[in-house]
Amino acid sequence: MGQYSERIATKLTAALQPLALDIHDDSHRHAGHTGDNPDGNGETHFKVTAVSAIFVGKSRVERQRLVYSVLADELKERVHALELVLRAPGEF
């Protein structure tokens, strides 16, 4: 797990207290695309799947905004794209 993966995991764990959290670095699928890290070290594109009670009663957009606010520093520094799958317990 890289530096940004760890930062994302730490911040989302603290903010969401998730029942499940999976962070996958998908940067290799975006090599050469806009936002690709020129040093080739990845950690620019992530898929984040989280299940948290904090999402109960929140719309998809509200859930995404919450995650984006938690990861604002990472998005400013290096992370170019997040694919988010955000669910409340019992949702599939």
Instruction: Look up the CATH number of the domain holding residue 47.
Output: 3.30.300.90
- Confidence check: pLDDT of 85 > 60: yes
Number of domains in the chain: 1
Model pLDDT, residue 34: 54
pLDDT digits (tens, 9 = 90+) for 29-83: 655 555 455 555 678 899 999 999 999 999 999 999 999 999 999 999 989 899 9
Q: H or E stretch including 16? A: helix 3-16
Domain contains 29 = yes
pLDDT digits (tens, 9 = 90+) for 10-26: 999 999 999 999 999 98
Q: Are 84 and 48 in contact (CB under 8 A)?
A: yes
How much is the CA Rg of the chain, to the nearest whole Å? Answer: 13
Does this model's pTM top 0.75?
yes
